[in-house]
Structure 1
Amino acid sequence: MKNPLNGLGFPLFAPFEKLHKITIVYNRTTGGEKNEELALTDDDTLEDVRQVKNTLTPTGVKISVFGLDEKNIKKLKNIKTDLIFNLCYGIGNRSDSEKELYEFFDTLKIPYTGGPADAVVLTNDKAATKKLLLKNTIPTPEYLLISSIAELDPVKFRFPLFLKTLDLGCSIGIDQDSVVLDRTALVKKAARLLDKYHKQILIEEFIDGREFAVTVVGNGRFSEVLPVVEILFGPLFDKSTRWKIFDYESKWQINSPFYVQSPYKCPAVLDRNTEDNLKKICLKTYKLCGCRDYARIDVRMDRQNNPFVLEVNLNPSIGRHSQMHKSAMALGLSFRDLIKTVISVSLFRFYGPSYISSGRL
């Protein structure tokens, strides 16, 4: 079967007979305090590790797993491997350590998936990302960044608004109270986020409409937008008058009825012009932010079909449950095909086109 992603201009399946060993690296967060929100996301990472290992084992390449933390990171300097499959979100339990991690990976002179460090730093800072997007005429909701409640006093707001932390991912801190309709609710939610997470708060205009996840794979001119995923919000959202947002409960709490009522649909139902415009914006965003190998762009679309980029996610979840896998399935790719594609674009970037063979393996 021909790889449906050959629009990238080269075969996307690297010659695995040239590979002897692939090392899956993830950040091990055992020990220390860990809140319930982070625990669920860590469990998800471990499941991704298991799935990637299991799907690569039949290829004949030796697959090893390295749980990285502050104590053993230096051991990576002596690692003998052909590629690092990167499933890290930092170094152990340390927050804000992704830049250091990627810079360390660079010193190894070994190809690794994802990155680079500069793009990680940029996209982790949601305000800096939005500033860059607006400067380059890419639509994103207008925003305000605050460090204290006092900064709200002189500002006149147009409601509804949406609140989230500046740099936490995985919808941590996002719930139904994240959408606010008046100043009282705004102050209450902002105070709660500041008190709990001790991070700056991003306040942006709320886009009432549909929500999409758009995966881009590749590098430079060899970058391809995969079929668009829409997050659907079932009838329970209407019955309970909940905001149709992909909040933490809907994304992670599998025993919640709202988790079940938030399925993915791919390809999303869009007219040709709307889909083309959405993909064009996401591809431009991917390249502008310096994304590498693969990333996911989160988008809201208003009732006039105008898309607004919310966030750029480097190194997003890649397991069988992920939006990225859903996009690959819409192209007829298996999970193994998807993982081999990510490996191949990384090797293509690192070694050049001469490394890639002419046929599917």
Structure 2
Amino acid sequence: MLYIKANNESFLTESHRVMGLLIGLCYDLKADYLKAGFSAAEVMEFDDEETIIGLEDALFQLGHQVERIGNGRALARRLAKGDRWDLVFNIAEGIKGRSREAQVPAVCELFAQPYTFSDPLTCALTLDKALAKRVVRDRGLPTAPFEVVSTLEEAAAVSLPMPLFLKPVAEGSSKGVTGRSLVKEREELVAVCRELLKQFHQPVLVETFLPGKEVTVGIIGNGSTARVVGVTEIFFTDKAEFAAFTTLEKGKKMEGNRERIFYRQVTDEEPLAAQARQLALVAYYTLSCRDVARLDLRCDAAGVLYFLEMNPLPGLNPVFSPLPIMAEWAGLSYVKLIDEIVESAWERYKCPNSSPRR
């Protein structure tokens, strides 16, 4: 696979770009689940029609045939019936369970169907924030001290010093993150844990609060070709619902948050950029991510970056998702971003012995 350099940006030459694939789109459409009776809170991670149309248009412009598949159950039915695609472009989140993001990759592997993005193990591991933090911590990467609380007795016994930050251990799109997530008093800790345990029916991640800057980092590629697309700092206005913290894991709330949250490109000349790039790439390899991912980092009071969480299925809304925004700032159009994702996945199947790790 040939890469050339222009304005510090790597990209595939047109003559080496794969074209003419039959690509199936696998996704969870928010409107479908709302019609089926799910609540807005249950489907906040899912995609809008705008995202699906954006992906279709980009893939059509790249010369591919595109067929909508739908959610994981629709994919399983089609594969069992004998349908196949050159590549499944998967952005499906799944509806229930901490392994829900692994469901579509697992079904694809069961039927030997090529697909984009990380495998079932990485998708399941990274959705459970505590498990992901243990893996990167064992690699020697900095992450805030944390405990996992499953009962009120465990909440009362938390030994970490205040202030603390609380959120469900396996949710996305900032679900469960509110103004009460930042806990400064021991009495608050048990009360907030009680609320989260009751609402989300899963353990609560309790971690030391990091008061510094928060950045999100986009990475694309595999092995030696993996590179950072951009580093972006997240800011909050005085209208922010929960000032000074968020993960914006999918960027799905940005449409309604434009008056509350905004982004700033961290330039290569800033020391924060080099620190973020290095930590992000090592975390990407450590968690065996593939094709593309976006991860969140946050600084302590001294300005040292710590790993927060990894998202191997980053939002791809062409208007407000963080990854396309930072790609555009780096000179990578939305169409080109999708092109590189497809190329990265296709190369893995052409070279099956290649590894996402360095």
- Would the TM-score normalized by the shorter structure come out above 0.5? yes
Separation (CA, whole Å) in 2 of partners of 1:148 and 1:109: 41
Q: What is the match of residue 110 of structure 1?
A: 113
TM-superposed deviation, 1:118: 1.0
Q: Given the alignment, which residue of 121, 125, 131 partners 1:122?
A: 125
* Residues 76 and 12 of structure 1, relative CA distance in 2, 3 Å threshold: farther
Q: Among 216, 226, 230, which residue is 1:223 paired with?
A: 226
Deviation per CA, 1:121-166, whole angstroms, max 9, x where unpaired? 2111111111111111101110000111111233333111000111
Q: CA deviation at 1:245?
A: 1.2
Please list every run of at least 4 consecutive aligned residues from structure 1 whose deviation after the TM superposition is greater than 6 angstroms: 5-10
Task: Summarize the Cα distance change of 1:14–1:83 in structure 2 as closer, same or farther, 3 Å threshold.
Answer: farther
CA distance in structure 2 between the partners assigned to 1:206 and 1:61 by the alignment: 46
Whole-Å separation in 1 of the counterparts to 2:101 and 2:87: 19
Task: Indicate conservation of the 8 Å contact 1:251/1:259, yes or no.
Answer: no
Answering whether residue 79 of structure 2 is matched by residue 76 of structure 1, we say yes
How far apart are the structure 1 equivalents of 2:6 and 2:119? 27
Within-5 A mapping of 1:147-296: 147-236=150-239, 243-246=243-246, 259-266=258-265, 268=266, 271-296=269-294
The equivalent of 1:359 in structure 2 is none
- Structure with the largest fraction of helix: 1
Q: Deviations over 1:4-40 (max 9, x none)?
A: 59876965885344x2421111135536542222333
Structure 2 distance, partners of 1:342, 1:193, is: 36
Matching residue of 1:300? 298
Go from structure 1 to structure 2 and tell me whether the alpha carbon gap of 1:236 and 1:171 turns closer, same or farther (over 3 Å shift). Answer: closer
Relative CO higher for 1 or 2, CA cutoff 8 Å, sep ≥ 6?
1
Match for 2:28: what amino acid?
N
Find the counterpart in structure 2 of residue 60 from structure 1.
63
Rounded to whole Å, the distance in 2 between the matches of 1:314 and 1:84 is 16
Does the CA contact (< 8 Å) of 2:116 and 2:291 recur in 1? yes
Tell me by how many angstroms 1:107 deviates.
Answer: 2.9
C-alpha distance in 1 between matches for 2:251 and 2:101: 23
Gaps of 5+ in 2: 353-358
My pick for the range that moved more, 107-116 or 340-349, is 107-116
Range that drifts further, 286-295 or 62-71: 62-71
Matches within 5 A, 1:16-55: 16-17=18-19, 19-27=20-28, 30=33, 32-42=36-46, 44-55=47-58
Asked whether the equivalents of residues 12 and 344 of structure 1 are also in contact (C-alpha less than 8 Å), the reply is no
CA–CA distance in 1 between the matches of 2:323 and 2:280? 14
Residues 270-349 of structure 1: matches in 2 within 5 Å? 271-320=269-318, 321-349=320-348
What is the TM-score when the length of structure 2 is the normalising length?
Answer: 0.86
Distance of 1:161 and 1:64 partners within structure 2: 46
Distance 1:155 1:20 in 2: 53
Q: CA deviation at 1:57?
A: 2.0
Check 1:39–1:82 CA distance in 2 against 1; reply closer, same or farther (3 A cut): same
CA distance in 1, matches of 2:14, 2:165: 39
**Residue of structure 1 in register with 2:356 after alignment:** none
- Is the CA contact (8 Å cut-off) linking 1:325 and 1:338 kept in structure 2? yes
Alignment TM-score, normalising by the size of structure 1: 0.86
Q: Does structure 2 retain, via aligned residues, the 8 Å contact 1:25–1:66?
A: yes
Which secondary structure does the structure 1 equivalent of 2:236 belong to?
Answer: coil
1:120 aligned counterpart, secondary structure: helix
CA contact 2:72–2:92 (8 Å) conserved in 1: no
Correspondence for 1:357: none
Tell me if structure 2 keeps the 8 A contact 1:147–1:199.
yes
Secondary structure at the aligned position of 2:314 is classed as: coil
Q: Distance in 1 between matches of 2:96 and 2:232?
A: 32
* Deviation of 1:72 (Å): 5.8
Corresponding residue number in structure 2 for 1:356: none
**Cα 1:100/1:206, change in 2 over 3 Å:** same
Displacement of 1:79 in angstroms is: 2.1
Q: Does structure 1 retain, via aligned residues, the 8 Å contact 2:164–2:184?
A: yes
Check whether the contact 1:163–1:204 (CA below 8 A) recurs between aligned residues: yes
Task: Sort the Cα spacing of 1:167 and 1:351 in 2 relative to 1 into closer, same or farther, 3 A.
Answer: same
Alpha-carbon distance in 1 for matches of 2:83, 2:6 = 34
Q: Which segments of 5 or more consecutive residues in structure 1 lack a partner in the other structure?
A: 354-361
Distance 1:286 1:118 in 2: 14
Cα–Cα, structure 1 residues 261 and 225, in superposed 2: closer, same or farther, change >3 Å? same
C-alpha separation between the residues in 1 aligned to 2:140 and 2:28?
36
